[in-house]
Amino acid sequence: MDSLVSTQWLADEIGASDLRIVDATAFLPEHARNPLLEYEACHIPGAVFMDLADIVDTTSPVPNMLPSAEKFASRMQALGLGDGSRVVIYDDSPIKTSTRAWFMLTMFGAQNVALLDGGIAKWKAEGRRCAQGRETLRQRHFTVWSDDSHVRTKADVITNLSTGSEQLIDARGAPRFTGAVPEANPALASGHIPGARNVPYSSLFAPDGTWKTPDAIKAAFEAAGVDLSRPVISSCGSGMTANVVIFALHLIGKDDVSLYDGSWSEWGLDPATPKATGPA
């Protein structure tokens, strides 16, 4: 199974005994939408709902931080996702939250995970069938395992400011990156981490919501001044759209990419961290 699958591929595979379909839609407060209600109203047949708001480290003062391996495995088992499952994830979110689910599944040991190109919006646009209510699957064993080698902390990013060993990419829109627009949370400073390059996550998609071609993805990074031969740390507002950057780079064969999970929610809150404004 490729990392990116088409709606036709999924339609042909639905019903396979090892296939698990996951709706990983999540929203920001300003979207004023309820992902579970939307899932119950219309989801791809057989899909279970992954509540990303519940799969976080609730002990961290920083919002939306990665959970422990034990917590993640427990949530996956409850969803019926187990060792050996082929997992296809989709969303219907403006911030492409299926990429966060993909990052976590791969980090916590799932071997065969793909995103649905175009999400459920493309599925519905093609007139394909939706199901209502909630789907439940038999619990399956999901081994507790974690590889955090592609996760960076605030301390790592501070060290990197001196060493420059990894490039920083910020997935937020240009107005937030430059500081022209203030953060929604008034406690957060405006601007970006010094030295970061700006690749807005929305620039990686075609107008119909599917991913751009590999050549167009490469061009987007190169236009922002990213050297694709060097390793990358991806950041955003709260560790969500940074995963869009990570998946886009994965699509072009680049996997020496790490997530700064705290992102601007952590960096912008700390008065001691350096901040930059204006274009990169």
Q: How far apart are CA 93 and CA 43, in angstroms?
A: 13
Q: How far apart are CA 223 and CA 242, in angstroms?
A: 18
Pair (197, 217) in one structural domain: yes
Is residue 278 in some structural domain?
A: no
Q: Which residue, 100, 128, 146, sits at the end of a domain?
A: 146
Is residue 279 in some structural domain?
A: no
Tokens matching residue 100: 């966060």
Pair (142, 50) in one structural domain: yes
- Predicted confidence pLDDT, tens digits, the chain (280 residues): 999 999 999 999 999 999 999 999 999 999 999 999 999 999 999 999 999 999 999 999 999 999 999 999 999 999 999 999 999 999 999 999 999 999 999 999 999 999 999 999 999 999 999 999 999 999 999 999 999 999 999 999 999 999 999 999 999 999 999 999 999 999 999 999 999 999 999 999 999 999 999 999 999 999 999 999 999 999 999 999 999 999 999 999 999 999 999 999 999 999 999 999 999 9
Distances (CA, A) of 191 to 63, 123, 225, 244, 255: 19, 37, 18, 20, 27
Residue with tokens 């899932």: 39
pLDDT of residue 68: 98
Pair (167, 129) in one structural domain: no
**Total number of domains constituting the chain:** 2
254: Cβ–Cβ under 8 A, 6 or more apart, which residues? 228, 232
Look up the CATH number of the domain holding residue 167: 3.40.250.10
Is residue 277 in some structural domain?
A: no
Is residue 272 in some structural domain?
A: no
* Parent domain of 119: 4-146
Is residue 22 in some structural domain?
A: yes
Distances (CA, A) of 70 to 18, 75, 97, 149: 23, 9, 22, 17
Hey, which residues are catalytic here?
236
Pair (90, 207) in one structural domain: no
Pair (121, 142) in one structural domain: yes
Q: Which residue, 146, 168, 189, sits at the end of a domain?
A: 146
Pair (157, 130) in one structural domain: no
Pair (31, 97) in one structural domain: yes
Pair (136, 230) in one structural domain: no
Q: Which residue, 114, 146, 178, sits at the end of a domain?
A: 146
Pair (227, 100) in one structural domain: no
Pair (111, 41) in one structural domain: yes
Is residue 124 in some structural domain?
A: yes
pLDDT of residue 196: 98
Pair (102, 163) in one structural domain: no
Is residue 68 in some structural domain?
A: yes
What does DSSP assign to residue 126? T
Pair (37, 95) in one structural domain: yes
Is residue 142 in some structural domain?
A: yes
